[in-house]
Structure 1
Amino acid sequence: MLNPRLVHDNEKSLYIFCLLFSIVVYVSLIISIIGIIYIIAGIIAALFVQGLMMGHIRANGIKITEQQFPSFYHTAHRIGKEMGLSRLPDIFVLQSDGMLNAFATRFMGRNYVVLYSNLFELIETGDEEELSFILAHEFAHIKRNHISKNLLILPALWFPFLGKAYSRGCEFTCDRIAAAYIGNAPAAIQGLVILAIGRTLYKHVNISDYVLESSKERGFFVWLSHIVSTHPPLPVRISKIENMHLYPQHYGYTSKSFEASVQS
């Protein structure tokens, strides 16, 4: 069972607010015939776009199976089982033109995790723990039903700043869950650094200096870029994991590997 202390406060409170806001919008639309048409048209359009994207991924991506990258498949199966997922999501690796990213999605009752190829290449450099953190982060989105919940609160997600704030809360939650389940604070932090600078140079980054210098960057546009983003800044996410590393008891989680010294 998921430890409730791993769920970020902003996710819990903002989801309730987003849900209430969305219900008001839905009721307002339903009382008019035109509003009902808008809702139906929006659902159909969203399903079509989502279906087209998943069709491309399934047709071109490489699916991780017991025969295709079996070692990583068994790692994913273990993490999913430990996190209490009833069924392992379909995992695809997709060519990414150098981009480092991963995402979870759901379509027609099936959960998917997509790893961009440049990120997946970490299995060749011996950095599987860092990749496991990123995978567990995406599994956490599925565990928390974030994708299904987003369908319920679509009006709030489109509302300026509100949906983005909720999304950032979800990202903090998934970082916490992923760090807890892989039980390795340094690997979790390094996984985030990889997203910042890439899989080749990340080992040379002074993490403390990275977080410190980022905290000095202030101003209107720095603030604005933060509140219009679905993801918190990477240095902020790193500092949150460092705090979890220092005070795991506050999150109801302890392990010797998680409490190992954080590399800088």
Structure 2
Amino acid sequence: MAVYIGGIWLMSYFAKSLITAHMLGHYVKVGPQQFPHLQQMVEESAAAIGLNEAPQAFIYNSGGMMNAFALKLVGRRRYIWLTSALIDADSDEQVRFVIGHEMAHHAAGHLDGGKHFLRLPARMVPFLGSAYSRACELTCDRAGSQLARDLSASRSALQMLACGSAKLNASMNPDAFQAQEQLVPPVAGFFIKIFATHPRTTRRVQALTEWYRGETTGVAVPLSASRA
């Protein structure tokens, strides 16, 4: 058993080392001398969420794919990857939400190896692992919105994952997009959901709106609330 666990650890370490080498050789490292406005967003979000050290952010050429990732590699260093398409399409306020979302994955321990090991038995239960993953995404959406302090930008940032058009960014209507959730066929929507690691984007916008409005606490928050 020890040999088996050791072999898995060694393969994991080698794979992470390869990713690190590729990242450092092909991606653009964000820092004080490289995209300082993005570095400031990262540092502010890390401090606000309680991380002792800000994750290292990288920008990479995504070939049109719009996304962002949080990950931990060799040396337990935290990283955030932002795709070039996302930066091109999103406003600064939307980027703040995305950075906050990924920061929350780190702060909540979603990527910690020890916690992954403890959750492993539960992940063997059919569909439970996917349900946990979807819950993590909704949690990080809320954290991202809090860190961005801009509900409108947060909702639009989520909608951009579906739209992906920089030209249409300013004219997007998150209310209309959220309303599409009511049109999803219940049975088909259920089967798609239980296999998915991420909630439907329409559902994410809806859930963030409901949470921000304070429907669970009875405290109403106007949708026009913006970053202070």
- Per the shorter chain, which TM-score range? 0.7 to 0.9
Q: 2:22 aligns with which of 50, 56, 76?
A: 56
Q: Find the counterpart in structure 1 of residue 224 from structure 2.
A: 261
Are the counterparts in 2 of residues 150 and 157 from structure 1 also a CA contact under 8 Å? Answer: no
TM-score by length of 2: 0.86
8 Å contact kept, 1:103–1:114: yes
Counterpart mapping for 1:34-45 below 5 A: 35-45=1-11
Which protein, 1 or 2, shows the higher relative CO under an 8 Å CA cutoff with sep ≥ 6? Answer: 1
Letter of the 1:233 counterpart:
R
Spell out structure 1 runs of 4+ moving beyond 6 A.
none
**Pairs within 5 Å for 1:1-264:** 35-107=1-73, 108-122=75-89, 127-148=91-112, 149-157=115-123, 159-200=125-166, 201-218=168-185, 220-247=187-214, 250=217, 259-261=222-224
SS in 2 for 1:142: helix
Unpaired runs of 5+ residues, structure 2, are: none
Residues 214 and 235 of structure 1 are in contact (CA less than 8 Å); yes or no, is this contact kept in structure 2?
Answer: yes
What one-letter code is carried by the residue in structure 2 that aligns with 1:261? Answer: S
Alpha-carbon separation, structure 1, partners of 2:19 and 2:124: 20
What TM-score do the two structures reach when normalised by structure 1?
A: 0.75
Q: CA RMSD in A?
A: 2.5
Asked if the contact 1:62–1:92 (Cα under 8 Å) also holds between the matched residues in 2, the reply is: yes
Work out whether residues 133 and 197 of structure 2, in 8 Å CA contact, stay in contact via their aligned partners in 1: yes
3-state SS of paired residue (2:71): strand
Unaligned runs of 5+ in 1: 1-34
Provide closer, same or farther for how the CA distance between residues 42 and 72 of structure 1 changes in structure 2, counting only shifts above 3 A.
same
Contact residue 184 and residue 260 of structure 1 kept, 8 A:
no
Asked whether the 8 Å contact 1:175–1:241 carries over to 2, the reply is yes
- Counting matched residue pairs gives 222
1:14 corresponding residue in structure 2: none
**Contact 1:136/1:181, CA 8 A, preserved across alignment:** yes
Q: Deviations over 1:85-113 (max 9, x none)?
A: 10011100011110001011112220000
